[in-house]
Structures are given as structure tokens and as C-alpha cells.
């Protein structure tokens, strides 16, 4: 992985770690950190047959990357994308015998929404107007909003996945080291890393693990007061719903309290809703926009919401498609500044834009592809639900492991009781105890998970995040590997 050092010694280089921007140096991103880099190394060694590991494959549970673990893409979406990429194929006789009529129709519709007729041209910096219009309609439908004018396509920004949109929002919000952003503990490290890169401060609020990782407004108040007392200007509150890494789904009354909090305290709401399709329990997903609208607060609550094609049942992570929506109360001047930020990168990739278009506008009942689409969608989501239950149940059978129900998203975040002797061992190796646990799981069982310390956790507790994305037929084998490893680990350090 590392390059050989050439020429001058590090210290005499113009550009080295001690002359690098400190915010870059201090940023951490565990989801692709040291353990994943080690997993890649092991993966390479597994290619040759006389490797020294007690397993023959690495199962990557470190990241929500469904298609890496063989989740099938939605056929209709991919076929439409193939046709808009090579429009001459729309009239191909052979294909017309293979693909359903609505595939060709949809490809034509999408191309008619592109002035140049080509997916190879830069689009408007916010993304194609035709697609932003469809996103606005999707939000209006999803949230059952009466006023069709309320969601303005110019308040929608298509992005290369949700992440760059989050980073642009934080870049605009954070002015200096006294500005803080409230993030859940545990959180998705995109937030901590981006806040550090922007030179701002993380203001953590704890989720209540014992109560299914619930979000309590008293804790928001406590965290805000603590930050304010330190002289930090809290600019925004990040809510991840459904939760990552924690998988909880917020209730309506809970969301109402959060909105009241933001209004009362003058804090902007950043609503990360990329897992909105991944809900496995009774509690339905509600968008913060919907809840604010029912509270008649859309005029006052400033909110940015995020969605993505990477999650849900699409799992089209590689497309890097997503969008963010500025709620009606966001200042138009801010919108213009966000436009300028987008324009510096010219535009989001067009295939990702088109995947967003397909996500918000899937085949409808009566269209030729509807049944196949619906079957594929149902199979993926029901299988994810079965795997979620199985994973959590198994984890809870393990000695010293306790895991809350995964109501949504694609992760479990169990507590692990790490024996004192293992904690000592970790100290010797100068790594966090849960990082040591995860490293052992990788070296001994070939399972790549992320230590809780990468997400933040209550002091003195230890966790790891694992996805429940391994293929269903392999799930039992994976869970056995987890169990055997864990029991050995506990015995070894008893």
C-alpha cells in the first residue's frame, strides 16, 4: 500500500506530514481506516494458496456496500442506464425483443430531459432541471404535501452521493474554531471527519442505548448548554434517521420535540435520511420535512435533508448519486451560495443523477417492468429484514455481548464487554480496546468490522459496527465465525 520513499528524507520534503494542513492530519475516517487497510492487505495474501490464515476469504462488514456482497442491482434501472449511455441501442431490433417496452420509453423520456441529448455534457451545477423536478414531485408525494409549489426544484441539489452535499453544507456553516455542530454519539464518521476538516468543533449528544438508542431532548439541551458554556456557537444539529451505526427509527413525537428544540435554540437541522427505505419494523419512516409541515413550522424551521441511491434497496453506491433539499425556510441568499459551491465542481456525475431520477420515479403499476421491479425490491428488503433479525438474535446469544434491535438501516452496533486482560493487551499495543478486538476478529476470523471508537461511544463502553449485508445463504457461516472468534477471545483473556 505505502509507496517507497524516494530522494530526500521526509523532513526535507516540501510537502510532508509536518507541513500538511493540521485539519487534514487530524481528520479520522474509521470506516476506511487502519483495519480496512489491513483487511485489503490480507485479501491480497489470500490470493496465493499457501497463505497462513485460518480462513479463505475476508467478509467486508465494515461498510454499507450491498453490491460488493453480491446484492443484485434492480434490472430496470440498469437497463435504462445502458440505453441512455448508448442512445443508438434504443432502436436495436435485438434488444427490442429482449427488454420490455417501458425500458425504451423511460430511456427516451430521460434523454428528452437533457438539452444536449447526451449524458456526456456538464449539466446545470445543481443537476438536470428535469430530474430536480422529479425529485420535488417525489418529496411532495412521499410527504403527502398539499401545496405542489412548496417543494421548489431550485431548492434541490443533486450530488455525487450524499457525502459531498454534507461537506458543502458544513463548509458553509462553519466559520471558525468557535463554531460547533451537534452530532449523535455514536455517529457516522463522515460528520466528525468533515467537521474537523472545516476546522469546527464536534458537539456530541449521547443516544440512549438501553432505550433502543433513543434520542432524548434533555440530552440535546445538556449537550448544547455544555458547548455554549465553553463559548462554542452551535450552528446545526445532525440527526441520522434511521440511525447509523445504531439502526433506530425515530418516532413522530420524538421528531416533534427535536424540531421544537431547533426552533427554540436557533439551531439548523441537518437531516440525514439516506436509510429511509431501510425500515424493518412497525415504526414507519417519517421525514423531518413532513413532521415540520404537520406542525405548520416550515416557515420557521431551517433544515437541509439528505438522500442517496447508495442505500435503500438500490445499493447503487458506485454510482455516487444523491441529493440534498433546502427546506422552504432556508434563506435564498444561502441557496445562491450553495449553488456557487456546487458550480466549482461543475456538476454531479450524470449517471448518478439519472439513478436518482429512477429511484424517485420507479416503474408504476400497469407498466411492463412493474412486477419484476416490485419482486426484486421485495426480495432485497425482506431478506435484509431476515438478516437483521438473525444477526441481532445471534449477537445476543454471545457471552458479554448485547445488541439493540436494528429497526432500520443496515447495521448492528453491539456492546461488547472486553475482559481486563484484553484491555491491558490493547494498551500495550497502544490501540483502543475495541480496535484490538476488531483487529483480532479480522486476523482470526477474516471478518472486517469497525471498532466503536470510530463512531464515538459512551466512556468505558466498547462496541463494533457490523453490516448485515453478507448474502443470506452465507449468513449462518458468517455468524458462526463471529461466535467462534468471540468465544475464543473471551476464553483467551478470561
Q: Which three cell numbers stand for residue 19?
A: 507541513
> Binders of its own copies among 243-302, rule CB under 8 A?
266-268, 298-300, 302
Question: Using the rule CB under 8 A, is 224 a contact of its own copies?
Answer: no
* Residue closer to its own copies, measured from CB, 134 or 192: 192
For the bound state, the minimum distance from the C-beta of residue 118 to its own copies, rounded and expressed in Å, comes to: 4
Cβ distance 50 to 81 under 8 Å? no
> Binders of its own copies among 74-133, rule CB under 8 A?
75, 78-79, 81-83, 85-86, 88-89, 92-98, 115-116, 118-125
Q: Which three cell numbers stand for residue 42?
A: 490480507
Q: Which three cell numbers stand for residue 227?
A: 458547548
d(CA 465, CA 460): 17
**Sole residue written with cell 480496535:** 435
The single residue among 184, 204, 245, 348 that binds its own copies, judged by CB under 8 A, is 348
Rounded to the nearest 5°, which phi and psi values hold at 307? -140, 165
Concatenated DSSP letters of 47-102: TSTT---S-S--EE-SS--GGGGTPPPPHHHHHHHHHHHSGGGGG-HHHHHHS-HH
> Binders of its own copies among 393-412, rule CB under 8 A?
none
> Binders of its own copies among 196-215, rule CB under 8 A?
197-198
462 closest CA partner among 491, 431, 487: 431
* Residue closer to its own copies, measured from CB, 180 or 433: 180
From 173-181, 374-382, 385-393, 416-424, give the range in contact with its own copies by CB under 8 A.
173-181
Question: Using the rule CB under 8 A, is 318 a contact of its own copies?
Answer: yes
209 closest CA partner among 413, 417, 4: 413
Classify each residue of 129-154 as buried b or exposed e, where b means 16 or more C-beta atoms within 10 Å of its C-beta.
bbbbbbbbebbbebbebeeeebbebe
For the bound state, the minimum distance from the C-beta of residue 326 to its own copies, rounded and expressed in Å, comes to: 8
- Cβ neighbour number for residue 185 with a 10 Å cutoff: 18
Question: Using the rule CB under 8 A, is 226 a contact of its own copies?
Answer: no
For the bound state, the minimum distance from the C-beta of residue 97 to its own copies, rounded and expressed in Å, comes to: 6
From 239-247, 347-355, 404-412, 475-483, give the range in contact with its own copies by CB under 8 A.
347-355
Task: Give Cα 243 to chain centroid, integer Å.
Answer: 9
For the bound state, the minimum distance from the C-beta of residue 479 to its own copies, rounded and expressed in Å, comes to: 22
d(CA 419, CA 434): 11
> Binders of its own copies among 130-149, rule CB under 8 A?
none
d(CA 297, CA 288): 11
For the bound state, the minimum distance from the C-beta of residue 416 to its own copies, rounded and expressed in Å, comes to: 25
* Residue closer to its own copies, measured from CB, 46 or 483: 46
Question: Using the rule CB under 8 A, is 13 a contact of its own copies?
Answer: yes
> Binders of its own copies among 349-378, rule CB under 8 A?
349-352
Dihedral of CA atoms 373, 376, 377, 381 in degrees, nearest 10, equals 170
Question: Using the rule CB under 8 A, is 41 a contact of its own copies?
Answer: no
For the bound state, the minimum distance from the C-beta of residue 50 to its own copies, rounded and expressed in Å, comes to: 21
Question: Using the rule CB under 8 A, is 305 a contact of its own copies?
Answer: no
Question: Using the rule CB under 8 A, is 334 a contact of its own copies?
Answer: yes
374 closest CA partner among 137, 75, 102, 79: 75
Question: Using the rule CB under 8 A, is 340 a contact of its own copies?
Answer: yes
Considering CB under 8 A, how many residues would be counted as binding its own copies? 118
From 131-139, 273-281, 325-333, 360-368, give the range in contact with its own copies by CB under 8 A.
325-333
Question: Using the rule CB under 8 A, is 315 a contact of its own copies?
Answer: yes
Q: Is 340 helix (H, G, I), strand (E, B) or coil?
A: helix
Q: Is 321 helix (H, G, I), strand (E, B) or coil?
A: coil
The single residue among 111, 130, 131, 155 that binds its own copies, judged by CB under 8 A, is 155
d(CA 295, CA 262): 13
For the bound state, the minimum distance from the C-beta of residue 103 to its own copies, rounded and expressed in Å, comes to: 10
d(CA 108, CA 93): 16
Question: Using the rule CB under 8 A, is 70 a contact of its own copies?
Answer: yes
The single residue among 137, 160, 260, 443 that binds its own copies, judged by CB under 8 A, is 160
The single residue among 145, 172, 370, 468 that binds its own copies, judged by CB under 8 A, is 172
Question: Using the rule CB under 8 A, is 494 a contact of its own copies?
Answer: no
d(CA 26, CA 95): 52
> Binders of its own copies among 227-246, rule CB under 8 A?
235
Cβ distance 123 to 347 under 8 Å? yes
Amino acid at each position: 500500500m505505502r509507496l517507497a520513499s524516494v530522494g530526500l528524507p521526509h523532513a526535507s520534503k516540501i510537502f510532508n506530514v509536518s507541513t500538511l494542513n493540521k485539519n487534514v492530519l487530524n481528520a479520522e475516517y474509521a470506516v476506511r481506516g487502519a483495519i480496512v487497510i489491513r483487511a485489503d492487505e490480507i485479501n491480497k495474501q489470500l490470493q496465493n494458496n499457501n497463505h497462513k490464515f485460518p480462513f479463505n476469504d475476508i467478509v467486508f462488514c465494515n461498510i454499507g456496500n450491498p453490491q460488493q456482497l453480491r446484492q443484485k442491482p434492480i434490472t430496470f434501472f440498469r437497463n435504462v442506464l445502458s440505453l441512455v449511455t448508448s442512445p443508438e441501442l434504443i432502436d436495436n431490433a435485438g434488444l427490442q425483443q429482449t427488454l420490455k417496452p417501458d425500458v425504451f420509453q423511460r430511456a427516451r423520456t430521460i434523454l428528452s430531459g437533457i438539452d444536449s441529448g447526451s449524458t456526456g455534457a456538464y449539466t446545470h451545477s445543481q443537476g438536470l432541471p428535469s430530474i430536480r423536478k422529479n425529485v420535488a414531485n417525489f418529496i411532495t408525494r412521499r410527504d403527502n404535501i398539499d401545496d405542489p409549489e412548496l417543494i421548489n426544484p431550485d431548492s434541490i441539489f443533486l450530488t455525487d452521493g450524499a457525502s459531498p452535499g454534507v461537506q458543502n453544507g458544513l463548509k458553509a456553516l462553519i466559520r471558525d474554531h468557535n463554531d460547533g455542530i451537534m452530532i449523535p454519539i455514536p455517529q457516522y464518521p463522515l460528520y466528525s471527519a468533515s467537521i474537523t476538516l472545516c476546522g469546527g468543533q464536534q458537539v456530541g449528544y449521547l443516544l440512549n442505548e438501553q432505550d433502543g438508542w433513543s434520542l432524548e431532548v434533555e440530552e440535546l439541551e445538556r449537550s448544547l448548554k455544555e458547548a455554549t458554556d465553553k463559548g462554542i456557537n452551535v450552528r446545526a444539529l445532525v440527526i441520522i434517521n434511521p440511525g447509523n451505526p445504531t439502526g433506530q427509527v425515530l418516532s413522530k413525537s420524538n421528531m416533534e420535540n427535536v424540531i421544537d428544540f431547533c426552533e427554540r435554540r436557533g439551531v439548523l437541522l441537518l437531516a440525514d435520511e439516506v436509510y429511509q427505505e431501510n425500515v424493518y419494523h412497525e415504526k414507519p419512516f417519517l421525514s423531518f420535512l413532513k413532521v415540520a409541515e404537520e406542525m405548520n413550522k416550515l416557515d420557521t424551521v431551517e433544515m437541509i435533508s439528505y438522500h442517496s441511491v447508495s442505500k435503500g434497496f438500490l445499493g447503487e453506491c458506485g454510482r455516487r448519486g444523491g441529493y440534498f433539499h433546502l427546506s422552504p425556510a432556508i434563506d435564498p441568499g444561502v441557496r445562491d451560495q450553495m449553488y456557487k459551491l456546487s458550480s466549482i465542481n461543475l456538476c454531479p456525475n450524470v449517471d448518478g443523477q439519472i439513478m436518482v431520477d429512477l429511484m424517485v420515479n420507479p416503474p408504476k403499476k400497469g407498466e411492463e417492468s412493474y412486477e419484476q421491479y416490485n419482486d426484486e425490491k421485495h426480495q432485497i428488503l425482506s431478506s435484509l429484514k431476515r438478516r437483521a433479525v438473525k444477526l441481532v438474535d445471534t449477537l445476543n446469544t454471545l457471552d458479554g455481548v448485547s445488541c439493540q434491535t436494528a429497526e432500520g438501516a443496515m447495521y448492528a452496533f453491539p456492546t461488547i464487554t472486553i475482559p481486563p486482560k484484553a484491555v491491558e493487551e490493547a494498551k500495550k499495543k497502544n490501540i483502543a480496546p475495541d480496535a484490538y478486538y476488531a483487529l483480532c476478529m479480522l486476523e482470526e476470523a477474516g471478518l472486517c468490522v469497525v471498532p466503536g471508537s470510530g463512531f464515538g461511544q459512551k466512556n468505558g463502553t466498547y462496541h463494533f459496527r457490523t453490516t448485515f449485508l453478507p448474502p443470506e445463504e452465507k449468513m449462518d457461516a458468517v455468524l458462526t465465525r463471529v461466535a467462534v472468534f468471540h468465544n475464543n477471545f473471551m476464553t483467551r483473556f478470561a
